[in-house]
Structure 1
């Protein structure tokens, strides 16, 4: 696969703040829980998977590009883009494809979040998204929170903060109810700098797949 094509993808400046907001809402140590920039590699994913740290995480969040098969030269399956390696290898080609995701051992993971992932096919079929979702289910994830199209950075950060603040406070609550209440909280922001978040367009791209209880 052409790793240089990955380097040409648009940067996603809001993802760092988004993941930081998730970590803060969960009370996680950012230095230990976040893998950003040069740390966000496929080699890192394999190392965390082998050590068991990946599967021990209750929330696994990817804020990155999602690709359809054929969208990048040599890519045969839907995939999530990671930081491309300086020297591509068989074990690290810069993407976490469906065939890689099914090798993960998500033994204790409760949520997988796929945001900033514009993975709907051109005909609206959602082919890429459904492929990624099935792969994470196979790996053991019970619930995925995904976006069907690219979403405003601030709105995404606001929704993620609300969802996981509520999850941290009441982990036993049904996941669908947690998401619903988070969306209602944004809708109640009828004035001030967060007024935009009150409109469903700001967060309607997100939906829950899998166990909602």
Structure 2
């Protein structure tokens, strides 16, 4: 397993990194915070999110709390990826969350509210070259 500092040293060229696990926004080190351009570490939006931003990810999707392991969570991610092929990442996550909200059984924020984007949500998941290759 890589430490936060080891992740931060990776040289990424990624529009999107998805941290699809429970509570991926927690914890960081001072070295990672400094590499990300911050003066010190803080408890909010730290850990893997900050490490991947420091490594060169333009946008990171993470979670604020443990997400339920349900088919509906898979549906949220599938909708996010499908919508993200032709829309911005911000629109893709909104569409996926709206779909959960519109399902009575999963409309509570517990099921969809953990997911968030850090970075440039106005970008597409795919570069223009990747779109042309599809």
TM-score by length of 2: 0.68
Whether 1:197 and 2:81 are equivalent positions in the alignment is no
Number of aligned residue pairs:
106
Query: What pairs up with 1:1-213 in 2 under 5 angstroms?
Result: 95-107=1-13, 109-119=14-24, 120=26, 127=43, 129-154=45-70, 155-168=72-85, 170=86, 173-190=87-104, 196-213=105-122
Max Rg structure: 1
Displaced runs of 4 or more, over 4 A: none
Unaligned runs of 5+ in 2: 28-41, 123-134
| CA deviation string 1:164-211 (max 9, x = no partner) | 01112x0xx221111111111222223xxxxx3232221111111111
- Pairwise CA distance, 1:157: 1.5
What CA RMSD, in Å, does the superposition of the two structures yield over aligned residues? 2.1
- Pairwise CA distance, 1:146: 0.5
Unaligned runs of 5+ in 1: 1-94, 191-195
Q: Pick 1 or 2: higher relative contact order, CA cutoff 8 A, min separation 6.
A: 2
Secondary structure in structure 1 of the residue aligned to 2:19: strand
Specify which structure has the higher proportion of strand: 1
Task: Give the match for residue 60 of structure 1.
Answer: none
Provide the C-alpha distance between the structure 1 equivalents of 2:22 and 2:99, rounded to a whole number of angstroms: 24
